[in-house]
Amino acid sequence: MSIRFENVRKAFGSKVVLEDVGFEVGSGECFFIIGASGVGKSVLIKHLIGLLRPDGGSIYLDGEEVSRLTEKEFFSVRKKCAMVFQNSTLFDSMTCAENVALPLRKHKRLGAKAALKEALERLDTVHMREFANAYPPELGDGMQKRVAIARALTLDPRYVLFDEPTTSLDPVSARRVDQMIRELCDEVGVTSIVVSHDLRSIFGIADRICMLYKGHVRMLGTPEDFQTTDDPVVQQFINGRAEGPMEV
Amino acid sequence: MNVVSATGLAVIDVTRDIRDILRMGARTLRFVVRGRKDRRMIVEQMHQIGNKSVFFITVTMGFIGMILVFQSALQALRIVPDLSLLGATYGEILIRDLGASIGAMMLATRVGAGIAAEIGSMVVTEQVDALRMCSADPVEYLVVPRFLASMVMTFCLLVWACVVAYLSGMVTAYVVFDVNFLTFANFMLVDAGDVIVGLTKCLAYGAAIPIVSAQRGLATFGGSEGVGWATTSAVVSSSLAVIVLQFFISAVGYLVFPG
């Protein structure tokens, strides 16, 4: 079981965002994609679940090419590959429990009552059960993120994509989310791809890291490889220095 | 870029927009027939589209009714010094053409902008992507409730718009031109064809405004600037759709019911 990107290319109009991007993610791995804002990290992971389509190249999930599937064929991919979005993306018109129940109703075809019952159990795992009947705007960012994670995990996916999961969270909530991601990999065997800028997350829980720069893979390796590399662009990024060769 | 290529690009853009709107209409109708209907969402949208537009449509159509009758009477007096058929003529043109069309143009600005802004915001904050991740079709979840709510409420609002414009016109005729209420309330020129054409327009506008606006909203890209563009585009496109529909329904109406 693995994820493989091969020579993926994506442009929006005349702006080429990704050019010949390729790497593989192993089963149970906690894989981080890093890079400056606007470099195409979120764009890249959205290709895996069909929210964007590549202009060139191929993407494989469990050995099956998914880059050419239709919207309907992607339904089965989205059952085993969930995504936690940067903005939580809970639906304001639904309660937290209804938000979590939605994938159960659509993917598993559960009835409203059964889906809500299971949603409550899922909310319990992220310590949000007492807020089951609250509407998302009534909750803080960290709480919304936890509900979004519960929703993403309702279908017991084998792969989870996290798009900047700790952005806008306080340090304690951020480390809790890190811990949750690591536990998913270690205890449940979930393969996680995490898009992040958060250096503490990156060097705290990543198994391997891929750095994107100017649409290409600049470096691929373990956190130790990144800390010991001589590449001035990588060093500038991971040390968060304003001065250096990196063009943003 | 020369004039020819600029014109060509504009034609391609317009053609693509029309194709996308027609596709959205077809998908919406398919989900109306086969998809699930979220009653709570439909009722909520009926409140948003209908109840919250009543004051706006009452005030605007009230003033428009006064202006129409005032100007019509002034023009008529230049030709004949008799306004006994003012109410009858005004009633016919209001029921057949102007009431629904002017009211729909007003609604396109309020309802169309609201739908495009709401859906556009959901696109840029990735809520629409999240829906797709749940295997929920955004058309089924977002467009169908607004479409059904608009079909009912736009129809009711446009009928109300005609009533308001007629009454305000009647008061204007009485106050300014001394036309008696009973003389004005003359429906002898209104026949079944006028009513059928008018009601057909109400239904058509009720369907067109949410479909065009939702399509614009779902096509949003970029951040808040994109939502702004989508909203502007929704108002312009919905208004255009109303005018185009008015032309075609009126044309067919005059062929079927020459009146």
What structural domains and CATH numbers belong to chain A? 3-239 (3.40.50.300)
CA A43 to chain centre: 11
Mean pLDDT within B114-122: 95
CA B1 to chain centre: 36
- Is residue A47 less than 8 Å (CB to CB) from chain B? no
What is the least distance, in Å, from the CA of A35 to any CA of chain B? 20
Beta-carbon separation of A89 and B136 below 8 A = no
Q: What is the pLDDT of residue A47?
A: 95
Q: Give the SS3 label for residue B135.
A: coil
State the sign of the Cα–Cα–Cα–Cα dihedral B156, B159, B162, B163.
Answer: negative
How far is Cα B185 from Cα B84, in angstroms, rounded to an integer? 10
Task: Please report which confidence band the pLDDT of residue A107 belongs to, taking 50, 70 and 90 as the band edges.
Answer: confident
Work out the mean pLDDT of chain B and round it to a whole number: 93
Is A248 a residue whose pLDDT tops 80? no
- Which residues in chain B are contacts of A103 at CB distance < 8 A? 133-135
Is B222 a residue whose pLDDT tops 90? no
Is A62 a residue whose pLDDT tops 80? yes
Task: Please report which confidence band the pLDDT of residue A1 belongs to, taking 50, 70 and 90 as the band edges.
Answer: low
> Which of B41, B126, B135 is closest, CB to CB, to A78?
B135
How far is Cα A174 from Cα A166, in angstroms, rounded to an integer? 5
Q: What is the pLDDT of residue A18?
A: 95
Is A52 a residue whose pLDDT tops 70? yes
> Which of A87, A93, A103 is closest, CB to CB, to B134?
A103
Task: Please report which confidence band the pLDDT of residue B259 belongs to, taking 50, 70 and 90 as the band edges.
Answer: low
> Which of B44, B125, B136 is closest, CB to CB, to A89?
B125
Q: Which two three-digit tokens encode residue A42?
A: 């979120």
- Which residues in chain B are contacts of A79 at CB distance < 8 A? 135
C-beta of residue B95 within 8 angstroms of C-beta of residue B162: yes
**Residue-wise pLDDT tens digits, B149-186:** 999 999 999 999 999 999 999 999 999 999 999 999 98
Mean pLDDT within A207-236: 94
How far is Cα B240 from Cα B25, in angstroms, rounded to an integer? 16
Q: What is the CA radius of gyration of chain A?
A: 18
Q: What is the pLDDT of residue A119?
A: 93
- Which residues in chain A are contacts of B145 at CB distance < 8 A? none
Beta strand A30-34 pairing with A191-195: parallel
Nearest to A206 by CA among A219, A64, A214: A219
**Residue-wise pLDDT tens digits, A12-32:** 888 899 999 999 999 999 999
Is B114 a residue whose pLDDT tops 90? yes
Q: How far is CA B89 from CA A84, A144, B81, B178, B187, in A?
A: 62, 60, 15, 17, 8
Is A238 a residue whose pLDDT tops 60? yes
Q: What is the pLDDT of residue A240?
A: 86
A-chain residue closest to B133, CA distance: A78
Mean pLDDT within A198-209: 93
Beta-carbon separation of A91 and B127 below 8 A = yes
- When comparing pLDDT for A145 and B24, which is higher? B24
Beta-carbon separation of A93 and B41 below 8 A = yes
Q: How far is CA A76 from CA A159, A190, B13, B127, in A?
A: 13, 17, 34, 20
Mean pLDDT within B234-256: 95
- Which residues in chain B are contacts of A50 at CB distance < 8 A? 132
Task: Please report which confidence band the pLDDT of residue A34 belongs to, taking 50, 70 and 90 as the band edges.
Answer: very high
Is A92 a residue whose pLDDT tops 90? no
Q: Give the SS3 label for residue B86.
A: helix
Mean pLDDT: which of A92-106, A163-177, B233-247 is highest? Answer: B233-247
What letter would DSSP give residue B140?
I
Q: If residue A34 lies in a helix (H) or strand (E), which one and from where to where?
A: strand A30-34
Q: What is the pLDDT of residue A130?
A: 93
How far is Cα B63 from Cα A48, in angstroms, rounded to an integer? 56
Q: Give the SS3 label for residue B164.
A: helix
Is B118 a residue whose pLDDT tops 80? yes
